[in-house]
Amino acid sequence: DKGGWPSFMAKEVSEEPEAVANTLRGRMRDGQVVIPELDGLDGLFAGITRIIVIACGTAAYAGMVGKYALEQWTRVPVDVELAHEFRYRDPVIGADTLVVSISQSGETMDTLMAVKYARERGAKTLSICNTQGATIPRESDAIVYTHAGPEVAVASTKAFVAQITALYLLALHIGRVRGSLSPTEAAQQVLELEAIPDKITRILHLEQARIEQFAAWMADTRSVLFLGRHVGYPIALEGALKLKEISYIHAEGFAAGELKHGPIALIEPGQPVFVIVPSPRESALLHSKVVSNIQEIRARGARVIAVAEEGDAAVLPFADEVLRIPLAGPLFEPLLAVVPLHIFAMGLATAKGLDVDQPRNLAKSVTVE
Ligand code: F6R
């Protein structure tokens, strides 16, 4: 039931605040993270020397975002790998490895096979999954469910923000179990997480209509580039994937720092480029680097669409369009910056008259390898 929305995707984007809120619910007590499903499983986290996150598509981008938080709060090195690449290269894993899989459906065959492989090699496995009782969580030593609710549209939206939320909860939990994070530091991050749902709602209220209009106006575009740095990089990849998936427009995401190593050759007059701009308050250095990337592409005629924090005036002279997100700590910006990109992809596909829920050639859950 679309509940009055024109598509399941529109409904699911509108549910992004609840997806985060419901994934947090029941997992915080007195300012600390408490994950009941992980009760008595501290042993999974005690002796590990590395974490490998495996997933496909959008879930893998959530994993890339999660890496920053996992490394910062647990000080355990983290690799993020596409599940279908992971097990064909004889990876170095064993009892000291925690393999965290991420899957909305819990049935993605590539991810399932990678989890089984990791288990056979003696690794510890933890599943982040949105579907109760699905195969991947059943094959794992531990489960942290995302509570995004059923996702019907083929393109993943609310599950993505829920996956990042679950990874952050997990990172805080592991950080506390291993003692790499103080209760005060953990409590600060919990406050940031709790504030996210209202901030997403604010984007939907203030920016959705304007972004949809803007997307409709761009409906004839043939190619769109997305640039991001640090946690903005996986968001650029996600923005590009969503756009190609449902609007059939060529789209590519890049790490902004890669520009001069190749992609800047693609910039010609009129080329639309989305740039995820880090907060100037939280990371002045990253912010100034991204602003100079914007200047470089603008000088070559790019049409710059900046996704930037409210009040960031430094981007105004160089951006043709600014999509605003509320203020948040640096690790939390991805949960906000992705929302305008989901709205944009949906708005553009809708303007082209496409079925946003059922893009051609794609299935909701990929149960073949
Ligand atoms: C993109 C998308 C896919 C899935 C991928 C993994 O919008 O939906 O890239 O994210 O197929 O699916 P799950 O999470 O079910 O394992």
Q: ipTM score here?
A: 0.98
DSSP element (H, E) containing 224? strand 223-228
**Is the separation of the CB atoms in 315 and 308 below 8 Å?**
yes
pLDDT at 32: 93
Q: Give residue 358 CA to ligand 1 midpoint distance, Å.
A: 13
pLDDT at 85: 96
Ligand 1 atom at shortest distance from the alpha carbon of 108: 16
CA-atom Rg of the chain in angstroms: 20
Q: Does residue 343's CB lie within 6 angstroms of at least one atom of ligand 1?
A: no
How long a stretch of residues is the chain? Answer: 369
pLDDT at 367: 83
Q: Does residue 130's CB lie within 6 angstroms of at least one atom of ligand 1?
A: no
pLDDT at 254: 97
**Is the separation of the CB atoms in 124 and 48 below 8 Å?**
yes
pLDDT at 314: 95
pLDDT at 294: 97
Ligand 1 atom at shortest distance from the alpha carbon of 57: 9
**Is the separation of the CB atoms in 349 and 19 below 8 Å?**
no
Find tokens 């939280």 and name the residue.
Answer: 282
pLDDT at 364: 86
345: left (phi over 0), alpha (psi -120 to 50) or beta: alpha
Q: Does residue 277's CB lie within 6 angstroms of at least one atom of ligand 1?
A: no
Distance (Å) of CA 33 to CA 23, 127, 141, 175, 242: 12, 18, 20, 10, 31
pLDDT at 212: 97
Angle, helix 183-217 to helix 16-24, in steps of 10 degrees:
170
Give pLDDT < 50 ranges for the chain. none
pLDDT at 316: 95
